[in-house]
Every structure is written in C-alpha cells, then in structure tokens.
A and B are shown apart, each in its own frame.
Chain A
Amino acid sequence: MTCKKSECQCGGNAAQDFSELAPVLDKYAKVPGSLITILQKAQDIYGFLSIDVINHISEATGIKPAKIYGVATFYAQFRLQPIGKYLIMLCKGTACHVNGADMIEEAVCEHLNIQDGETTEDGLFTLNNVACLGCCSLAPVMMIKTNDGEETFGNLTKDKVKAILDDYRAKEA
C-alpha cells in the first residue's frame, strides 16, 4: 500500500518530479533482479533514496517498500539521507589503517566539524568512511566524489588533507 501523496507525512516533497527516473523504470521495472540497479540509478539522479523515491519505485516495480528498504539498508552504497556537494570517501582499508587513516579521519572531522556519515552545515561536504579504495600503495587515501566525477588523493598527511579541503572550499567562494 502506498500513501496518497497529498496526505503523505513522510517529510518528502509531495510534488517531487520523477520524470528523470522514468526511462530507468521503463527499462528495468519489469526485469527480474534489477532492484539494485534501479536503486543505484535513482541515487545517481537524486543523490539519496528518499521515502518518496522508494515508494515510487515500489509502485512501478510491484516490490513492497519494506523489501526495498531492506535492500537499501543492507548495502553500504545506499544513502537514505541527502549528502553534500562533495562526498569524501575516506579509506579505512588495512593498509590505510596501518599507515594512520585514523589520524586523517581526525583531521577531516576537526577541520570540517563533522563525524563519519554527517554533512557540513553549508551542505558542501559529507564524510563517509569506506572499506577500501584499492590504492593501498598510496595509503592513506581518500576519494572526493562530485556529480562530475571523482578525484583520488594519496599519501595523505594531516596538513595535506586540510589543504585539499580548503582548496575545495575556496572553489566555492
């Protein structure tokens, strides 16, 4: 069962436009086993999976919202909250851990005043700790992702990471 949009209390924008998602649903809604692909594409479009998006996908695919929620919360990639313009993916792989990833995390948290999973007040940065980016020889490593692509930074130090974040911030000023 889905709630009528006008009565919806779930905090989303009732008039959300799903037209961008339409071609994705046309292609995948009826193909078995495509739920993860649909969620990935929906997240690419909207930045995160809102309750409205989940309900809309449910209507199109016939999969119950509870099940979609179950899948979305199982995988590390999916977010149920909006993120900042720059997504900082801080590697916490073994090589990074041994080479001081905790220190780098401290520096990021201190500099931006956020914790893992949080977004800065100005909506610019979100910090996400990730399992491994696969650039282990350059540990410690982080990747900064935007809508246009991603950039990876290696051999980080506390000072270097602060300078990188300042550079991004300066771009916005």
Chain B
Amino acid sequence: MKVMIGQGSCGVATGAKKTSNEFEKLVAEKGLKNVVIDKTGCIGTCYLEPIVDVYDDNGALETRYVKVQPEKVAEIVEKHLIGGKPVEEYAISDVDKTFLEKQKRIVLRNCGVINPEHIEEYIARGGYESVKKVVTSMTQDEVIDVIKVSGLKGRGGAGFPTWFKWNEAKKNPGANKYMVCNADEGDPGAFMDRSVLEGDPHSLIEGMTIGGFAMGATEGVIYVRAEYPLAIARLEIAMAQAREKGFLGKNLFGTNFSFDIRIKAGAGAFVCGEETALIASLEGERGMPRLKPPFPAAKGYWQKPTNINNVETFANVPWILANGGEAFAAMGTDNSKGTKVFALAGKIKKGGLVEVPMGLPLKEVIFGIGGRIKQDKQFKAVQMGGPSGGCIPADLIDTPVSYEDITKTGAIVGSGGMIVMDETTCMVDMARYFLDFTRKESCGKCNYCRIGTKRMLEILERITRGEGRDGDIELLEELANKVKDGSMCGLGQTAPNPVLTTIRYFRNEYEDHIYNHKCTAKSCKALIRFTISDACKGCTLCAKKCPVGAITGSVKQRHVIDPDKCIKCGKCEESCNFGAVVRE
C-alpha cells in the first residue's frame, strides 16, 4: 500500500509536510511494514490541498483524501490503512472529481502521479523513451518535421511556432549552440511552469534534450526564478539522476550526441521574460532587451545561435515524439493545436491548474471546471495574459480559448494566467494595478515605456482617488497607443493592453469614477462611504473596533458613523455580525 502526499508549493503552504510527518509517525508507531509514505508534485486541485492519495498494492488509486490536516491522519491510518475501510467523509466528493475529469492532461500527465524525485517512476511511465528514439534513430530534420506537423506553438505568451525557431537555430552555423529554457515565470497570477518544474522536472529535461538534438546544441541552460526554491531543488535532483542514468552528459545512448544542462537562477525582473533580455541576464548584465534582428537563433547567448522556449512548450515535446505530431494536431482548433495549461485563480471557488484542449469555450473552463464564483457573487470578467493581456467581460464568455479568438477580444492567451473577477472588483483599479506593475518593471530603455507608463499610472491613480477629469479617458487612450508604438520590446508594446481592454469593455466604470464620483464596484476607498442600516442591533462591537472613534450610539440602539471622522478602514464592516454596515 502506498500513501502519496501532494507536496507542491501549494500543498506545502497548506501544511502537507505536517500531514506527511504525522503519517510517518503513526505508520511507524503501528508498525505497518507494508505501507510506504511518498510524495508527489502538484495534483492541480489546489483548493483541496493537502491531498493524500492511497494506492493499493497493484498501484491503482484506491481513495483520494482532500483537505487532510494532521488531525485527520490518525483516523485514516486506523480505519483505512489498518482496517481496510476508506474514511468516506474525508474522501474527494463526486462534484470535485469533475475538476479533473473534464481536463485533458498532456503537459501535466505526470504531475501528481509520480514522485518527481524518483527517476524510476518517470521511466516507468515511458519517460526518456522519446529522447532515446530521437537520438538513436532520427535525424534533426525528422524531429523538426514531427514538431511542425504537431503545430506546437510557444506556450510562453508570444505563440510563435516552435518548429520554426528550432529550424532557424539549426540552420545557423556554429559549433556552440545553446538551448535555453525560460522558467522565469514572471506573470503575476500564473503558476503553470512552477507546477511542472516541481511535479515533473524530467519531462522538461527530456524535452530540452530533444530540442537540443534537433537544433544541434550541446548545452542547455534553465533560467529559473529565484522565488521558486522548491522548483530549483527538484530540478537539481532530477538532473543529477538523469546524469547518473546516462540521459544527460557525453555520448547519449552510445551515439556521438552529447548534451548537458545547467541551472541559472534569475534575480527577479519581469522584463527577463523577453528573450533578448533573458540572454543579457544570463550573461550577468542588467536584463535589458536588445534590438532584433539579429534574432537569438542567429546571435543569442554569447553571440551563438540560441533557441529559447518556456517550460510548458518543452514538457509537450516528449509526448509529441511518443505519440506523433498528428495525435497532437488532432486536438485544438485550426491555428491552435494541442492543449494549454491555465492557472485558474482569483474569485473562483475551485482554483487550480487546468489543462484543456485549445478551443474549449471560456465558459467551460471557468464555470464547468472552476465551479462558481466565491460566495456566489456575479461573474464580471476574466483577466488573461497578465500585465500584457486584458480583461474579457462576461458577455464574451463563449469565446473559445485559442490564440486567434482570445487575441480578437484584445486580451492574449499569454502564458496561461486566468484571474476571475466578480462584481466587487473595480476595473479601473485593475488597470491601475497592472500599470503599477509594468511601470516598476520597465527596464527604462525606451522613453515611451519608461515615462509613458508612469504618466498613465498617474492618471489612473487620480481617477481611483476620485480626482478624474474630463478628457482623461481620451488621454489614456492616446498615451496607450503611443507607448505601444514607441517601445522596442514586448513589455512596452503590450503594457497598455489592460488599460485599453478595460476602457473598451468597462468605459462606464471609468465614467462613473470621473463624472459621478462613484466606484461602480464599491471598492475604491476615496469614492465610497460607510453607513449603518436598520439591521443594526446596537451590539456596540463596531464602535469598539473603530480606530478613530467615528461610530457613536448606545446599547441596543442603531449606531451612526460620522463621515468626517471616518477613515474608511472597513473595520466596522468586517466586525459586524449582522451585515448592518453597508458601502455606498
């Protein structure tokens, strides 16, 4: 019997380590020799963590337990591991099971199934077979052809055909070429790559090696965020194991192809997601983009031909080589093939990692898989593509998730962040939030990006403070278009997208702020007012909590807030047990 405990970052954050320790302690105490305690990566259903899977002796999943805090462990050990009878009340519900059943898992095929620190488990599921086939029996062109047939496009955001980049890098002459993996997942609100790195690092190593073979590289570099310590640790273990087995290093599978990989930890800069900036950073410089051409495929890392793909792109590659390009191309739409992983988060009931075939309507992802909105509020919009993307409103919820359809809405598929917003999210504030981010992350090279984003942010801040002026919306639009045109790299070219899409779909909210001095979502502090309604029981709690003594009233009498004293901290609203404090 095997007990697998999900220990990705999300699992660990909810206490999976304590749960695991408790299992180990009790299993040892009871002397259960036939029970193995093991760990696995992200299972994807983050909202149910910590998750514990119990497998029978034949390796079949017997029961999946969810939200297993340490205090539940004793009962599971006693009744299930010893008594042989699953504790149904802690097991995953049928409704929650649909979260996984509606998905198609290619990139995440091993996440939550194998222990990422045991290479044998990856091999047992067909791992390293593809690279063996490629290196021992295929030519570079044949590999590139398979990827071409598959229609795989870069999953990092730009959506450029992978085969084309590999082919360019292959055609450019040079003895030293580099295969680089961009694991610097910088979009706030996206965690697809982290989950693959933590849950299935070998698929990345295998994908990179195949790509390295196809383009003729001998060295791979993984540029990974320093904020992902667990991912770095698991990658290092995986690389050491792969070297030991002869899957990395000199003369792979007895051929004259040699390939090895090293890790380079990034130091935190969003702009390093842009490939020339990433290369500058790899070279130990400030991560500032360079002019293209020359493209990295011609002159990249140390001026050598270099190819850069992100983690998810590489994780698809071993599957494509094993199952054929046609099988991959059979999924998706005409121009967007295969599956895409999304990080579903925000005001959604069931947040987590979701992998679906391209072309599925947004509605299916958000409502079908993600369940409803938290506290059953009204769905307002979904943000895709992070700071480079945009907000898609509720009436476009039937849009298919594909590169071409999402782009038409003004957003982008991006790397896969999907942040759901409800009626209480202010869209002007969302635009302000993203502009604040891009303004800080602008490297400063192009004037329009450096100064333009700052000016746009100032206008947005003014509007959210209730000091918006007539003409501000038009000024924002003008600046947005100039920043797009006047910036050299993708950061500046896309930074205005969150502003433009919110103006396009939620212009009324901007107008409400500017002309009516009202925040439609009742979220901007400067534009709301707290009052106490008839529901007040006179319990005096709010008056006690108020830090500035703005609330008066006697016991069992309706209380009153003095608007001149109120600092709108919201403490009264939080503390009221009767919902009597209302925002206006």
Contacts and interface: CB of A to CB of B under 8 A. Distances in A.
Interface string A9-50: 000000000000000000000001111110110000000000
Contact of A135 (B9, B302, B433): B9
Contacts of A76: 267-269
A137 B433 contact: no
A153 B226 CA distance: 18
A37 to B, nearest CB: 7
Given A77-B267, A152-B13, A94 B417 contact: yes
B345 interface: yes
A109 interface: no
Contacts of A121: none
A121 B267 CA distance: 28
A98 B264 contact: no
A97 interface: yes
Interface of B: 9-10, 12-14, 46-47, 49, 185-191, 194, 226-229, 264-270, 281-287, 302, 343-347, 351-352, 383, 386, 417, 419, 421, 425, 430, 433-434, 437, 441, 443, 569-570, 574
Interface string A128-146: 0011111111110100000
Given A136-B191, A137-B344, 16 more contacts: A36-B265, A36-B284, A37-B284, A75-B267, A75-B269, A92-B188, A94-B188, A94-B345, A95-B345, A98-B421, A131-B188, A132-B190, A134-B185, A136-B190, A138-B13, A139-B351
Contacts of B352: 137
A71 B441 CA distance: 14
B184 to A, nearest CB: 11
Interface in A46-85: 70-71, 74-78
A134 B286 contact: no
Given A98-B421, A131-B270, A136 B286 contact: no
A155 B569 CA distance: 21
A94 B284 contact: no
B189 A33 contact: no
8 contacts: A33-B283, A36-B284, A94-B188, A97-B188, A131-B441, A132-B189, A135-B191, A154-B14
Contacts of A36: 264-265, 267, 281, 284
Q: Of B46, B227, B430, B437, which is in contact with the most chain A CB atoms at under 10 Å from its CB?
A: B227
Contacts of B421: 98
Contacts of B194: 134
B284 A77 contact: no
B47 A137 contact: yes
Given A32-B284, A70-B286, A94 B265 contact: no
A32 B287 CA distance: 16
A131 B273 CA distance: 14
A138 B46 contact: yes
Contacts of B419: 94-95, 98, 136
B284 A35 contact: yes
A135 B15 CA distance: 13
Nearest to B419: A94
Contacts of A75: 266-269, 287
Contacts of B264: 36-37
B544 to A, nearest CB: 16
A138 B10 contact: yes
Contacts of B441: 131
A115 to B, nearest CB: 16
Contacts of B13: 135, 138, 141, 152-154
Contact of A98 (B265, B283, B346): B346
| Residue among A33, A40, A70 with the highest chain B CB neighbour number at 10 A | A33
A152 B9 contact: yes
B345 A136 contact: yes
B227 A133 contact: yes
Given A135-B10, A139-B345, A94 B46 contact: no
Interface string A78-115: 10000000000100111101110001001000000000
B269 A94 contact: no
